[in-house]
Structure 1
């Protein structure tokens, strides 16, 4: 009998909205992060994001980085398209050159792209320089889920309260869950093909998002060869009071998902190309777990994301070590500009 990977969630959440929502701020979004197991290539976030007020022209947000520090990026509104599967479900959604498909809820997704993205480097992005010339880019990936989804606010009563009565729900954007997966596929860059095998993290979001209260965050997750895994998101605290949101989970070697919280996070206090500390301390009922981390590759955004007027966003990969076992996972950090050392 197949393992239940739904985590008790309704499979209907996996399918896209079939019509424009009444709320102009309502989002219907799908994201996939891809980490090549060799550490040579990564897509630190590829997103389709349809928002009610611009429903016919969803956002495509794509990041690519390789081990040399070369980056490709596309943040653009594109003509939307959608289709149903053989059972009439809204399983396919995309915009311009990007296409997502739910093949089997909570088990298998595909993502394809055939277009162009703007070239740059991590060093130039750190300095806030604009992206350069367009480069041909095409890829196709299959994502096989490896653990049940992590529903934001679903791990502990404290996290649930943050989603309902604090800023957590607005910052997360309504119903949002992450699911770790294993990835196979290929990438064509400048006419050269690269076969990719590694891990990924998928996000589905349906709701209204308001980042106005955000003071910064740390987001991490990784899937290890043994099947162990972790995920963590913590929002930076204000001058008074606790963090707006703090939730994490651990998956042990038996596949059990254990609620946790972040005790110590690697806040971004400076901009560095690589080798920055990405280590965490996570606390659960079973005790405190240390996961060592080192940033491998990064993209930096000073201009495009929702908080660009006040903050800098880093998205990339890190090598994580848990009791001697290593893997490559994702890292995303956002920090107010006035908290970053020059």
Structure 2
């Protein structure tokens, strides 16, 4: 290409930097492709997907390198995407002529308003100084978010759907509220909104499923077996990553799937108990006291002393002896035996409901 032809091509280039940023927020690299940096864009997109795959494999695979995997996922989901937004903006700017850049900066940017609104509905309107719709959209967003945490699953689902509809309306409205829009039709904003919502829904679904499967989940207490520590209908956070880094400790409250003995008794739901004995420990219950390796165990979390005798017994390798804090009303290891390590789902770390008793369960 001759210099005059290159100059002419640059004069006709009218890339929107904040549209590039919005596109790269959907998927890293897309903004660079839009800006004409196709090779860079495809490299960024491929790197993003590869890093996610490698990080997930290191955390969940047989390599047993969760710390390295978390570092790789952090790079894939945080470091690369943030850098990518800045680079997408710069890539679009560098493709434009000085004349177009000067013209673009003379008015409020519609695509910047869209970018702000995609984080917090109403924020883009505030940037445009459209105060009334901005306040109304923000209040509506907060109200729906409050309803979305309802204990009623149907109401929560409806609220989540309303959030998606609200985002659709906000993004379209804020784009059209901008004083200058350089596209000749509404197709660009409609395609972006469809992509934003579609990818957001897919990623949210995948993230929620992956989080519940591998990182953390919530559970509720259906019985009084862990009284007084845990009460019926308490809502807990179960940490599923803790025991990928270390072994379970005595005194920790764990959730575990039914053992073979329990499955034969038609138990299918998970149990929640406290770890009392570790692999290799000698355990005995007598005289209202639990003994570990012939030493009495101090337990400040029980209300009544056990009124039964059990043991002595040596806990097998990779197995745990668990009891409910409500010692005389708990169907636990003193009835059906030990919990294999592979049955442990995770560690109960936080109570988040009811709010007046919310807090950490560590040390309780």
Taking structure 1 as the reference length, the TM-score comes to 0.22
Structure number, greater radius of gyration:
2
Q: Determine which structure has greater relative contact order: mean sequence separation of CA pairs < 8 Å that are 6+ residues apart, divided by chain length.
A: 1
Q: Which has the higher helix share?
A: 2
Taking structure 2 as the reference length, the TM-score comes to 0.21
